[in-house]
Amino acid sequence: MNVLFGEYHPRQQQSLTTYHYFGEIQPEEVRFIFKPKRKISCTVKLFNGSDTGYLAFKVNDDANANLYHVEPNVGVIKPWSTCQVQFTRKAQDVMPPPNEIAKETFLLQRAWYSEDISVKAVSNMFLRGHENVNVRKLKVVLEEELKVKVSRFIKSMMSKIAKLNCFKTPKVKE
């Protein structure tokens, strides 16, 4: 599911400081399928649907730095372009309890620029603060591999049952 933030009208003449649109994020969360003793990854796509604005972003992973690696964690997305951000979780022997996972989030900061800027300038800009920064929390979801397989199997079987029910001929009352 795509998420749009605010309104965006690309054909209207607006200054970048009046944009309420900060791009699309797909998916809306950082979702992993847990596999014991293996690194696991998830990709989140950031899309800039602007005609003229450059969308600077930074993913803050300070709270989770010992558990995650994010690449790239800072960048600039050109107009009508997409950036794929890779989240990698380090290998763990056992799945953490749900209450620990519920606390895990990433902060995605985004701001508009009228021209292309360097990644170093973006990083410094977010450190110093910027007047028009949009902050979005990305929730971490960690699922067990077996539950995912069972869920897919159940959906597949329900689909097959539904197809079989479509071919039944209705009984005619005499």
pLDDT band at 3 (very low <50, low <70, confident <90, very high): very low
pLDDT band at 2 (very low <50, low <70, confident <90, very high): very low
Cβ count within 10 A of residue 76:
20
Query: CA–CA separation, 110 vs 22, rounded Å?
Result: 7
Half-sphere exposure of 106 (CA within 13 A, CB side): 30
What is the predicted pLDDT for the residue at 109? Answer: 92
- Under the banding of pLDDT at 50, 70 and 90, the label for residue 169 is low
Query: What is the sign, positive or negative, of the torsion defined by CA atoms of 120, 110, 44, 21?
Result: negative
Domain ranges of the chain: 3-166
Residue 41 has pLDDT above 80, yes or no: yes
Which pLDDT tens digit goes with each residue over 42-89? Answer: 999 999 988 888 999 999 877 778 899 999 999 999 999 999 999 999
- Residues 6 or more apart whose CB falls under 8 angstroms from that of 16 comprise 52, 53, 112, 113, 114
Residue whose C-alpha is closest to residue 119's, from 52, 46, 54, 56: 56
pLDDT value at residue 115:
82
- Specify the CATH class of 3-166 in words: mainly beta
% of the chain beyond a pLDDT of 70: 78
Percent of the chain with pLDDT over 90: 43
Instruction: Report how far residue 168's alpha carbon sits from residue 44's, in angstroms, rounded to the nearest whole number.
Output: 43
Q: Which residue intervals of 11-144 are DSSP H helices?
A: 98-102, 119-128
Q: Average pLDDT, whole number, for the chain?
A: 80
Highest mean pLDDT among 55-69, 87-101, 112-126: 87-101
The closest alpha carbon to 47, from 21, 11, 77, belongs to 77
**pLDDT grade, residue 122 (50/70/90)?**
confident
Give the tens place of pLDDT for each residue, 21-32.
Answer: 788 999 999 999
When pLDDT is averaged across residues 91-102 and rounded to a whole number, the result is: 92
pLDDT value at residue 148: 54
Give me 78's structure tokens: 């050109």
d(CA 28, CA 3): 7
